[in-house]
């Protein structure tokens, strides 16, 4: 049969892709790649051109075939798609491990580095350095028995991480909350109320039926006046896929988490590392476990006094001790009282079309590009839009999909991912394509989607990742865009771009009242900007709690004692948490960043990169936030370089010095 996944021309023909296409397409590419790799490994006189470039080409094609399948599994999940996706995971894992453990290829790369190294470009040498490092980190030097065990462990990890994510999605979709009377929904915006009414009607029920999608959860915890409703949602969300809560044990990730931690530790030990945290740091800016732990604790020491005062003040405002499900509600009330700013009221000023236009204008002013929507491109859902980026001369640079709204078949959260990577090799040139995925509240009938300012920050954040992927100038796929970038620097462009969503000039351009057409008034802008440091201590301590929990979980694993998830979490909470949580809270069981995503022993990178981003933005503040020479330096030193430069060297080239934590503390109103 004709297989649309094997169509060599991007973008993918999403309208034609079916679950039954996925495994045959993957098997075809893997079979072709294995045959070609066998030929390359047998070359008597390997060169960069004869071995490295063909391998870069093969990996690029594999990603192009597999990326649409993985993406559809995340945004349009169905039983048949899930089955096809899971059937492919062992095939892909086995191939990647075999490739990375190939001794003939490893020796070929070593020989190329020794013979051609001095004549190669810095980027080509970097390709070799990363490849040789990755060979070693995949166990190329292990004996046959240990190699086999490493491969089996990686295969099982792939399966378990997918299972973890499936359990979270199923438990999220599996819970709903019926409400009989409209009065019980007091405080919620009308779009959510109307959605709940339609959901109940569609199921033949009276009243209202609320789902556990992310926009509804956030709205309930922030705006619902009913403490019982807030508690019900807090419990359902924070016990997903666990042994507690309304669906206790049904999709329980407890055993999955233990197995994941055990296998990660075993993989690290096979390669001679003391822990998975040590193993993970082999590819990071941070070099040692102690360096990361001390970094988190230094920030915690600075933020804790502020956080404690903020909680005490909030409880004084509420007139009582607060439960975890009350904090968001009273924070919103206090913020509204102090700054006359409400996230829900701000929605009226941030229709998605206006925000997108303003966001694109920021990128265009900074980096001299042009962004325009392109019609007629196949998409996976009617809500999805496609955009193309051109340089100042009108030449295409790249393109991206935007999938903005929450729906039941879609993973929660927001992310950017690679659809097609950049490539410029002897075989030809391919421009990058990105996925930008959010979970905003869908629009009401006849009106545009309305965003909170928090939503605006999310959109700017993910678009920052997108620019990192799309504005790369690196010709080799393994280092182009976000590929090859140290994981604790990967959030630098995304968090950097968030700063613009707080700037008065930008707020003027991204805001337009949905009814009056007027921009957010100057006094409201000032009030909104003043909220940036509101409860900054509490927010920072929460992020530090997550980061230290993740890192200690992987640094302190003991095979004889198991993962000790609850024990380590309790210890971290005693050190970092300010807001008490109930004993039945099981947030770790849905902590997909760590147990299913790429942030294992790496969640600290959000704070690490936030330091870099605040310091980078301070360079713009010194010269003007749209200063052209500064933007060119940022593009040339960081955005365009992908993984072709050491992250610290790239930052120092841009900033003229090593990173400084003080701009971040200043942004949040926290004294150093």
Instruction: Return the C-alpha torsion angle 121, 123, 125, 129, nearest 10.
Output: 180
CA end-to-end span of the chain:
64
Q: Which residue has the tokens 């000023």?
A: 349
Among the residues of 319-426, which ranges form H helices? 324-339, 343-346, 352-367
Q: Which residue has the tokens 């060599």?
A: 8
Cis peptide before 11 (omega within 30 of 0): yes
> What DSSP state is assigned to residue 341?
-
Annotate 293-349 with three-state secondary structure. HHHHHHHHHHHHHHHHHHHHHHHHHHCCCCCHHHHHHHHHHHHHHHHCCCHHHHHHH
Q: Which residue has the tokens 């503390």?
A: 665
| Closest by CA position to 400, among listed 355, 448, 465 | 465
**Burial call 200-213: b when 16+ CB within 10 Å, e when fewer:** beeeeeeebbbbbb
Pair 452, 346: CB distance under 8 Å: yes
Q: How far apart are CA 523 and CA 44, in angstroms?
A: 72
Tokens of 619: 């360079």
User: Which residues have a catalytic role annotated?
Assistant: 462
Length of the chain: 672
Dihedral sign, Cα of residue 104, residue 108, residue 109, residue 114: positive
Measured in degrees and rounded to the nearest 5, phi and psi for residue 32 equal -65, -40
440 three-class SS? strand
CA distances (Å), origin 65, targets 95, 379, 479? 14, 16, 19
Pair 403, 14: CB distance under 8 Å: no
Q: How many CA atoms lie within 13 A of 214 on its CB side?
A: 20
437 three-class SS? strand
Residues 6 or more apart whose Cβ sits within 8 Å of residue 154: 93, 96, 97, 267
């Amino acid at each position: 049969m004709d297989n649309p996944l094997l169509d060599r021309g991007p973008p993918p023909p999403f309208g034609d892709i079916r679950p039954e296409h996925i495994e045959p397409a993957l098997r075809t590419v893997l079979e072709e790649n294995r045959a070609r790799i066998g030929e390359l490994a047998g070359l008597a006189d390997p060169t960069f051109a004869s071995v490295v470039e063909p391998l870069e080409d093969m990996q690029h094609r594999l990603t192009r075939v597999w990326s649409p399948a993985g993406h559809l599994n995340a945004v349009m999940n169905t039983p048949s798609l899930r089955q096809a996706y899971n059937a492919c995971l062992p095939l892909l894992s086995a191939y990647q491990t075999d490739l990375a453990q190939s001794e003939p290829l490893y020796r070929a790369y070593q020989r190329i580095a020794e013979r051609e190294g001095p004549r190669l470009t810095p980027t080509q040498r970097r390709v070799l350095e990363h490849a040789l490092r990755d060979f070693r980190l995949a166990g190329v030097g292990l004996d046959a028995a240990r190699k086999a065990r490493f491969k089996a462990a990686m295969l099982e990890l792939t399966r378990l991480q997918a299972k973890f994510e499936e359990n979270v999605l199923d438990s999220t979709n599996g819970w709903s909350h019926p409400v009989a009377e409209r009065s019980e929904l007091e405080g919620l915006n009308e779009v959510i109320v109307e959605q709940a009414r339609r959901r109940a009607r569609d199921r033949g029920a009276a009243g209202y039926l609320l789902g556990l999608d992310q926009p509804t959860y956030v709205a309930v915890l922030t705006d619902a006046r009913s403490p019982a409703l807030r508690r019900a949602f807090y419990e359902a969300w924070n016990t997903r896929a666990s042994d507690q809560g309304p669906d206790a044990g049904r999709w329980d990730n407890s055993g999955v988490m233990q197995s994941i931690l055990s296998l990660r530790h075993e993989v690290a030990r096979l390669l001679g590392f003391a822990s998975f945290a040590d193993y993970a740091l082999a590819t990071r800016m941070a070099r040692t476990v102690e360096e990361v732990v001390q970094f988190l604790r230094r920030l915690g020491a600075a933020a804790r006094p502020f956080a404690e005062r903020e909680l005490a003040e909030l409880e004084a405002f509420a007139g009582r001790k607060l439960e975890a499900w009350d904090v968001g509600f009273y924070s919103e009330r206090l913020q509204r009282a102090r700054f006359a700013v409400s996230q829900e009221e701000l929605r009226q000023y941030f229709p998605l079309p206006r925000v997108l236009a303003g966001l694109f204008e920021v990128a265009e002013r900074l980096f001299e590009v042009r962004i325009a929507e392109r019609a007629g491109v196949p998409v996976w859902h009617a809500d999805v839009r496609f955009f193309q980026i051109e340089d100042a001369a009108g030449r295409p640079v790249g393109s991206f999909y935007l999938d903005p709204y929450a729906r039941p078949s879609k993973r929660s959260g927001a992310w950017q991912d690679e659809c097609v990577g950049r490539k410029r090799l002897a075989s030809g040139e391919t421009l990058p394509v990105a996925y930008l995925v959010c979970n905003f509240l869908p629009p009401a009938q006849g009106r545009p989607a309305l965003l909170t300012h928090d939503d605006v920050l999310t959109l700017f954040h993910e678009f920052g990742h997108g620019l990192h992927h799309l504005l790369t100038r690196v010709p080799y796929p393994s280092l182009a865009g976000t590929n090859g970038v140290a994981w604790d620097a990967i959030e630098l462009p995304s968090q950097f771009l968030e700063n613009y969503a707080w700037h008065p000039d930008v707020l003027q351009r991204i805001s337009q009242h949905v009814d009056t057409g007027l921009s957010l008034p100057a006094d409201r802008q000032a009030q909104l900007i003043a909220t940036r440091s509101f409860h900054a201590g509490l927010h920072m301590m929460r992020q530090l709690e997550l980061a230290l929990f993740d890192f200690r979980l992987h640094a302190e694993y003991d095979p004889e004692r198991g993962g000790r998830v609850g024990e380590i979490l309790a210890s971290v909470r005693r050190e970092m948490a300010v807001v008490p949580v109930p004993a039945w809270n099981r947030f770790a069981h849905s902590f997909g960043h760590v147990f299913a995503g790429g942030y294992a022993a790496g969640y600290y990178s959000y704070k690490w990169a936030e330091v870099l981003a605040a310091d980078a933005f301070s360079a713009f503040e010194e010269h003007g936030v749209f200063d052209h020479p500064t933007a060119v330096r940022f593009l040339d030193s960081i955005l365009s370089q992908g993984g072709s430069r050491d992250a610290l060297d790239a930052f120092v080239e841009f900033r003229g010095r090593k990173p400084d934590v003080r701009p971040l503390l200043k942004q949040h109103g926290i004294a150093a």
